[in-house]
Amino acid sequence: MDIYGTRLGSRLMLGTSLYPSPQVLSDAVKAAGVSVVTVSLRRESGAARDGQAFWSLIRDLGVRVLPNTAGCHSAREAVTTAQMAREVFATDWIKLEVVRDAETLQPDVFGLVEAARILVADGFKVLPYTVEDLSVADRLVEAGCRVLMPWGAPIGSGLGLNNRYGLRQLRAYFPELTLIVDAGLGLPSHAAAAMELGYDGVLLNTAVARAGDPAAMAQAFAQAIEAGRLAYLADPMDPRDMAAPSTPTFGQAMLGGGE
């Protein structure tokens, strides 16, 4: 998977919140074999001692950090958070989140586009968390985004891909863009379905962090993503409404009644 010219070894990205312990998080990241984890600035700096311990854990994992602007409700707040994250994490990558309300955590598309324009102009490589809408996606591309992260379903819901038609349209409309399904996946089969649509990767958190065995679930998601990608590249058959025999009838003995 390519992110702004950087080639990554894994198509799965993991969030780092909600895990029952730092060791469980570490085990899950290693089991998944991910190249990138997302980190919230709020999580890092919530308490000086806890933040330092968490940052040390992330560094020890040897993976790339993608800071996010989780919890921001305006373009101004998201821009300020991104600029702070660049200083803390020493990266110009930012997962841009601007949400409308705390109930749905649906992206505020107006604030998102505004913040994306400002951050791109400021030298950031922006990965916006967005909806599966062509007009919004087009505005983000015009703003300079070369990666889009449409949601599968509301964050933490585990519902899977709520709008496969919309996701399929995005893939068809932006064939050269890196597209990553972000949020709402609950099962490895959901991730495989996203990859079968031709998506480049998947980002998830809750489905792994809240599993009974996070490391095993992380590994299951990683394998499902590889299977889905391979299926997409294999050019799967088109669905049909009627049955089609898998055994040819030509050359078979035909039974008929005698005189």
Secondary structure (DSSP) of 79-142 = HHHHHHHHHHH--SEEEE--BS-TTT--B-HHHHHHHHHHHHHTT-EEEEEE-S-HHHHHHHHH
Contact 138, 169 (CB under 8 A): no
**How confident is the model at residue 243, as a pLDDT?**
84
Instruction: Could you list the residues known to form a binding site for 1-deoxy-D-xylulose 5-phosphate, using ranges.
Output: 156, 183-184, 205-206
Where along the chain do its domains lie?
2-234
Q: What's the whole-model pTM score?
A: 0.89
Q: Which of 11, 43, 95, 171 is catalytic?
A: 95
Question: From the CB of residue 250, how many other CB atoms can be counted at a distance below 10 Å?
Answer: 4
Question: From the CB of residue 244, how many other CB atoms can be counted at a distance below 10 Å?
Answer: 6
* CB-neighbour burial class of residue 74 (10 A; exposed 0-12, middle 13-18, buried 19+): middle
**How confident is the model at residue 239, as a pLDDT?**
84
**How confident is the model at residue 102, as a pLDDT?**
80
In this structure, what token pair is assigned to residue 54?
Answer: 């968490």
**How confident is the model at residue 177, as a pLDDT?**
96
184/127 Cα distance (integer angstroms): 17
In this structure, what token pair is assigned to residue 101?
Answer: 């309300």
Active site residue 30: no
CATH of domain 2-234: 3.20.20.70
Instruction: Could you list the residues known to form a binding site, using ranges.
Output: 156, 183-184, 205-206
pLDDT per 10-residue tile (average), the chain, 259 residues: 95 94 94 94 53 76 93 95 93 95 87 98 98 96 98 94 96 97 96 98 96 97 98 90 73 59
